[in-house]
Copies of this chain bind each other. A is one copy, B any other.
Amino acid sequence: MASNGSDAGEFSYSRNGLLKALSPETRASVIADLELIDVPYRQVLYRPHDVAQYVYFPLSGVISIIAVTDDSSGVEVASVGREGMANVNLFLGADRAQCEAVCQAPAKVARMSGALLRKHTQNGGELSQLLLRYTSAYIGQLSQSVACNRLHSLDERCARWMLMMQDRAGDQFPITHEFLSAMLGVRRATVTVAAGLLQKAGLIRYTRGKMTVLDRAGLEQASCECYRTVRQMFDRLIPAQ
């Protein structure tokens, strides 16, 4: 609706849904302590057991949060885009990262150190309230993923993944079958079959790591309920952007 050309000068931190939801005063104070960085495709922001240093507010692009198991396979447990923040655990007072965070689509990200974040959130306050609510939504996303990974077919989960990426990265984004298989926790060859079906159905198109979403409505049909469920929960908890 309304254009936000007005804040183009200060680099539009408000493209991040959380920063946007703040009152102008709080936002200004928070923005003053943010640092803007470019994160290229596949860059790792942090790994399990790393000392937690920053929280990350994406202005564009996508960060995947991945649980890594002993045998070094892993599964995406959540993804974070403009709507959210990565490294929730730092906000919650943990000193170490539990998961791995990887850039899934080239991103502009505003980051804040733990020390500065504490300055803004100790004694409660607006930012604190907001991040607590985001944490609640993040927990919802995780809970849904537990059920999804157990109950839903790869075809459905694959469609869901495409929708989540499209929401955050647009109609086109980089992803190879190999990488996607690591996100979904299945073999590369299994992804090839599932993605092949979606392509045959005309819902997506891909070549050599370039994915294009063609038919969003079709994907929503093909996806499990989890996409809608999580989406609605976010819309309720982090209101109107």
Q: Do B88 and A151 touch (CB < 8 A)?
A: no
Residues of the B chain whose Cβ atoms lie less than 8 Å from the Cβ of A89: 136, 139-140
Query: Contacts A67-B143, A98-B140, A124-B122 given: A150-B225 contact, CB under 8 Å?
Result: no
CB distance from A7 to the nearest CB of B (A): 27
A9 CB-CB contact with B under 8 Å:
no
Tell me the nearest residue of chain B to A224, going by C-beta: B69
Q: Do B185 and A150 touch (CB < 8 A)?
A: yes
Q: Do A135 and B75 touch (CB < 8 A)?
A: no
Tell me how many residues of A have a C-beta within 8 Å of chain B.
44
Query: Contacts A92-B132, A122-B124, A233-B98 given: A142-B139 contact, CB under 8 Å?
Result: yes
Residues of the B chain whose Cβ atoms lie less than 8 Å from the Cβ of A226: 69
Q: Apart from A67-B144, A67-B147, A138-B139, what 17 extra A-B contacts exist at CB < 8 Å? A: A67-B143, A68-B147, A69-B225, A70-B225, A75-B146, A89-B136, A89-B139, A89-B140, A91-B132, A92-B132, A92-B136, A99-B143, A124-B124, A124-B128, A135-B135, A145-B146, A147-B185
